[in-house]
Amino acid sequence: MEKTIKKFLQNCSNIELTTINKQGYPETRAMLNLRNENIAPHLKGKFESFETIYFSTNKSSSKIEQIEKNKNASVYFSLPQSFQGLLLTGNAYIETDKNIKDALWHDSWKIYYKGGRDGGDYAVIRFEAFEYKFYNGNFEVIKGALKQIIL
């Protein structure tokens, strides 16, 4: 199952991150799938597990404040044309490891992050999944636990 999910993640261009806003409601937004080699070719083959998902974002975005206040989150990958999807439930964190942030960075992102990698607005979110639901395209849902839930 792990190989199937890893391949699925690499093929998805549609990905959504859901966090909890200050009113306690889910807030979903589209994100770049850094595992898709068409989106982030510089990261091809860099991700070993599917339990940890990284996102680049702006420090000034609302999701940063939301994650700081409530780490509960979900990530949804989909291939609508084949009725496949993967829901990951877990916790989101603001990544502080400079080595990871530097490894994910690409110079083409300067247009999104004023001042570039070290300019102050570039941030990385690390999502750690503890369970999944895989919709396999044959109207079957395969569920599984990944890690112990950390509260």
**In a domain? residue 150:** no
Q: Are strands 26-30 and 14-20 parallel, antiparallel or unpaired?
A: antiparallel
**In a domain? residue 140:** yes
Instruction: Using the predicted structure, report yes or no on whether residue 6 has a pLDDT greater than 90.
Output: no
Question: The CATH number of the domain where 65 resides is what?
Answer: 2.30.110.10
**In a domain? residue 97:** yes
**In a domain? residue 151:** no
Instruction: Using the predicted structure, report yes or no on whether residue 142 has a pLDDT greater than 80.
Output: yes
Q: What percent of the chain has pLDDT over 70?
A: 97
**In a domain? residue 103:** yes
The Cα 138–Cα 140 span in angstroms is 5
pTM value is 0.89
**In a domain? residue 57:** yes
Structural domain that includes position 84 = 2-145
**In a domain? residue 90:** yes
Nearest residue to 133 via CA among 67, 80, 91, 77: 77
Number of folded domains in the chain?
Answer: 1
